[in-house]
Amino acid sequence: MLENFAIAASETFTLLVFFYVTLGVLLGYFVGALPGMNRTTAIAVALPFTFAMSPAMALSFLIGINKGGAAGSAVSAILINVPGEPSSVVTTYDGYPMTLSGRARKALNIALFASVVGDVIATLILIALAQPLARFAVTLGPIELASILIFSITFIAAVSGDSFFKALIAGTLGLLLSAPGIDVETGLPRLTFGIVNLYDGIPLLAVAIGTLALSEILVQIDNGWRGDYTTPQQEPGSEDPDANRMDRNEARRVGKATFSGAIIGTLVGLLPGLGATLASFLSYTWTRQRSADPRAFGKGAPEGVAASEAADNATVPASLIPVFAIGVPGSLSTALLMGAFLMHGLTPGPFLFRENADVVYGIYIGMLMASLGLIIVGMFGQYILRMVIRTRQTVIYPIIVFLCVIGAYMESGTMFGVYLMIGFGFVGYFMKKLDFSFVTFVVGYVLGPMAELTIRQSLIISQRNPAVLLEHPIALIFLVLTAFSIWRFSIAGLRPVEITQPSKADQDRD
């Protein structure tokens, strides 16, 4: 392992890479801090601009955006009581009361500390765990992979939001979208309507940029039209220097909350579909229940901010573990990152370590650089960020629309992608308006082709004989889990956790 790090370091451990990674963190920080825009949007828009970079640099840059977004969302949550991202909803519970009582700087520093610690712990777990898992995953054939994919798809029902059936419809729509293209077995075009540009399927970036980024702009236009245009709020001004000091007892509690938050975030991030919002909520609940004074929570308890932010940031590296090890993305942002891997000629999964070990270790180095970038941006960027969250939307949104068009054009070098992106912008707009789940939609679209391929491979290998499953115990376990998951999340009809606070419709968009 050290040897791999040494080789990768010679290429990745440069100022240029560090510059780009920090730039990614900064971008993510901005986008995270801006209410309405989230880090998945930022990744979708930034992805086409990484084509010219080396694979390790490109992925580190994109992961940097993801990390920065997770940390930056705390800023607006603390200062103006508007979570920059759904995963920071919980941060507002104690962060904003701290601001009201003149402890804004303390809250921001605790959020930054918790973000960095959560991030570093989860990154180290990723580095320790991904390769052994991948070594094990090499022994997984199509039959095992097919059952893991089926399990992942049903598991997403757990985060279906308010309406299970709407989520199901969105997921099916996503699966259908993945159907056009060249049929893998016959080599003939399927559902392409004679359009050559669809032979490789509906392009990822057109779908992602359209439904995630452009649709958000359309929603904002709509809001402006209706007159409920949100002018940026002013933060309460006065700071109390005495209250911003921290005593040893408090530091100990914050440290404990941060550590448990990091572990909870890592565990939740590992599982497909659950995401950062649930992680921050669970971590907050855990810390509150174990606190000596649970009633202080919600009124400005520093450990509440720490618990939420540590878990939020820990999910980012943790959700990459299944991508690196078995090639299965569990969330929107990892689905996009997986697309980025493919665009750079890398196939995530067990063979990634074998064929592109240097790139993987380069990404590890890049991720650790991003942790450092988080500290730098967090410490020096707070004043800029205070201005950013007050920037008028009429300045920011046109720039984003411009980037959307460029990004969609770059994927295939044709206007086809741009038209498609605009079309999906409207699809996304109506999905947002009617509260259809984005996670199930995009994950269905990304997992669809993989599930189809592995299921068809399994049918060929097994010669359509289900008894073969008895020789594949791992596949059997996942299929039993699938049955349980379907029962648990649909038939039993229980929602895992209700996360009710400001923007409920936003909760599944991390």
**Smaller CB separation from another protein, 48 or 317:** 48
Q: Which two tokens stand for residue 23?
A: 């730039």
Q: What span, in angstroms and rounded, lies between the C-alpha atoms of 172 and 43? A: 24
Q: Name which of 347, 356, 345, 343 is nearest 327 in CA terms.
A: 347
Q: Does 453 bind another protein (CB under 8 A)?
A: yes
Q: Does 10 bind another protein (CB under 8 A)?
A: no
Beta carbons within 10 angstroms of residue 406's beta carbon: 14
Taking CB under 8 A as the rule, which mask of x and - marks residues 13-52 in contact with another protein?
-----------------------------------xx-xx
Q: Contacts with another protein in 48-87 (CB under 8 A)? A: 48-49, 51-52
Q: Does 176 bind another protein (CB under 8 A)?
A: no
Q: Does 238 bind another protein (CB under 8 A)?
A: no
**Of 2-10, 180-188, 208-216, 381-389, which part binds another protein (CB under 8 A)?**
180-188
Tell me which H or E stretch contains 189: strand 189-190
**Smaller CB separation from another protein, 193 or 383:** 193
Beta carbons within 10 angstroms of residue 191's beta carbon: 13
**Of 117-125, 245-253, 267-275, 341-349, which part binds another protein (CB under 8 A)?**
341-349
Q: Name which of 104, 7, 45 is nearest 386 in CA terms.
A: 104
Q: What span, in angstroms and rounded, lies between the C-alpha atoms of 348 and 323? A: 6
Residue from 413, 466, 493, 498 that binds another protein (CB under 8 A)? Answer: 413
Tell me which H or E stretch contains 237: none
Provide the minimum distance between the beta carbon of 173 and another protein in the complex, in angstroms, as a whole number: 22
Calculate the alpha carbon distances from 428 to 164, 216, 219, 423 in Å. 18, 8, 9, 9
Provide the minimum distance between the beta carbon of 481 and another protein in the complex, in angstroms, as a whole number: 23
Q: How many residues bind another protein (CB under 8 A)?
A: 41
Q: What span, in angstroms and rounded, lies between the C-alpha atoms of 419 and 244? A: 52
Q: What span, in angstroms and rounded, lies between the C-alpha atoms of 303 and 292? A: 12
Q: Are 466 and 147 in contact (CB under 8 A)?
A: no
Residue from 163, 457, 490, 503 that binds another protein (CB under 8 A)? Answer: 457
Tell me which H or E stretch contains 182: strand 181-182
**Of 15-23, 363-371, 389-397, 412-420, which part binds another protein (CB under 8 A)?**
412-420
302 alpha-carbon distance from chain centroid: 25
Q: Does 182 bind another protein (CB under 8 A)?
A: yes
Residue from 83, 261, 300, 349 that binds another protein (CB under 8 A)? Answer: 349
369 alpha-carbon distance from chain centroid: 19
**Smaller CB separation from another protein, 356 or 507:** 356
Q: Does 184 bind another protein (CB under 8 A)?
A: yes
Q: Does 233 bind another protein (CB under 8 A)?
A: no
* Binding positions for another protein, rule: CB under 8 A: 48-49, 51-52, 138-142, 182, 184-185, 187-189, 194, 196-197, 199-200, 343-345, 347, 349-351, 354-355, 406, 410-414, 449, 453, 456-457, 460-461
